[in-house]
């Protein structure tokens, strides 16, 4: 039978369709507004990839910040449960997980059975999240992907001292107006973000191997700086970092419908 998961975040919608645990289709759809429509569109795109109709899907679970807006889902489920289930299947050695998404940063431990044993979250401030990085890229007037790659070569990262996202943006604009190098500015932003992520992670016991998921996990300079800050290298799990939560939702959908 066929199952699906939809992870509706604040920046993008993700969908995965599976059959007997094997992935049939994945889709990521960035969006700016209308989350309910984004949830519908991302699932339609995934379904069209494999020539299905939605009535062929036996059970669908929604998760993520906007899970209540996924109108076609049979039920919804917390993100952390989806993450722990997916990573337990992808790499059973992983013991600490960092979820760096669009609106929050979460760190948690999982045991050998894939159960969550402790967690820490920072969701009161946007600073350090994927949304924060998008705002900073907009202030620098360059695509985020280009900034992430080009700034890897910076040898003079400019400090971003403000803890508040609004004030940090003002700092960045000041640097730009002073004619500072954009890649040095972004390298400084990356160090600031890495420090904030590491602070959340250190609230729990960091047990290696450690994995990072979420949109921020695809930002090469930030990942490098978080690894340096924590003194480790992230584990591999052979999946797009943005689709892990949706995969976990699909796996749990399969398990729930099988019982």
Per residue in 53-99, pLDDT (tens digit) is 999 999 999 999 999 999 999 999 999 999 999 999 999 999 999 99
pLDDT number for residue 103: 78
DSSP code for 153:
G
Higher pLDDT, 127 or 28: 28
Q: What tokens appear for 195 in the block?
A: 């420090």
- Alpha carbon distance 188, 197 (integer Å): 14
Angle at 194 between CA 202 and CA 32, to 5 degrees: 115
Give me the chain's average pLDDT, please: 91
pLDDT grade for 163, boundaries at 50, 70 and 90: low
Q: Domains in the chain and their CATH numbers?
A: 1-91+241-259 (3.30.420.40), 94-236 (3.30.420.40)
> What mean pLDDT comes out for the span 6-10?
94
Residue 234: pLDDT over 80: yes
Cβ atoms of 101 and 9 closer than 8 Å: yes
Residue 131: pLDDT over 80: no
> What mean pLDDT comes out for the span 244-249?
98
Residue 33: pLDDT over 90: no
pLDDT number for residue 128: 59
pTM of the model: 0.91
pLDDT number for residue 51: 92
């Amino acid at each position: 039978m066929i199952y699906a998961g939809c992870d509706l975040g604040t920046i993008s919608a993700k969908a995965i369709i599976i059959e007997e645990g094997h992935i049939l289709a994945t889709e990521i759809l960035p969006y700016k507004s209308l989350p309910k429509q984004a949830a519908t569109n991302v699932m339609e795109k995934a379904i069209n990839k494999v020539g299905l109709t939605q009535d062929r899907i036996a059970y669908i679970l929604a998760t993520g910040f906007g899970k209540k807006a996924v109108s076609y889902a049979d039920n919804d489920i917390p993100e952390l449960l989806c993450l722990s289930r997916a990573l337990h299947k992808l790499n059973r050695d992983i013991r600490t997980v960092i979820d760096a998404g669009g609106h929050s940063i979460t760190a948690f431990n999982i045991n050998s059975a894939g159960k969550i044993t402790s967690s820490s979250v920072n969701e009161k401030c946007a600073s350090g999240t994927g949304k924060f990085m998008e705002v900073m890229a907009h202030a620098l007037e360059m695509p985020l992907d280009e900034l992430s790659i080009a700034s890897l070569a910076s040898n003079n990262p400019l400090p971003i001292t403000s803890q508040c996202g609004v004030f940090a943006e003002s700092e960045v604009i000041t640097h730009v107006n002073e004619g500072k190098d954009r890649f040095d500015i972004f390298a400084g932003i990356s160090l600031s973000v890495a420090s904030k992520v590491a602070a959340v992670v250190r609230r729990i016991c960091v047990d290696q191997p450690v994995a990072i998921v979420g949109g921020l996990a695809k930002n090469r300079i930030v990942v490098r700086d978080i690894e340096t800050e924590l003194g480790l290298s992230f584990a591999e799990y052979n999946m797009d970092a943005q689709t892990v939560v949706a995969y976990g939702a699909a796996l749990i959908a399969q398990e729930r419908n099988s019982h």
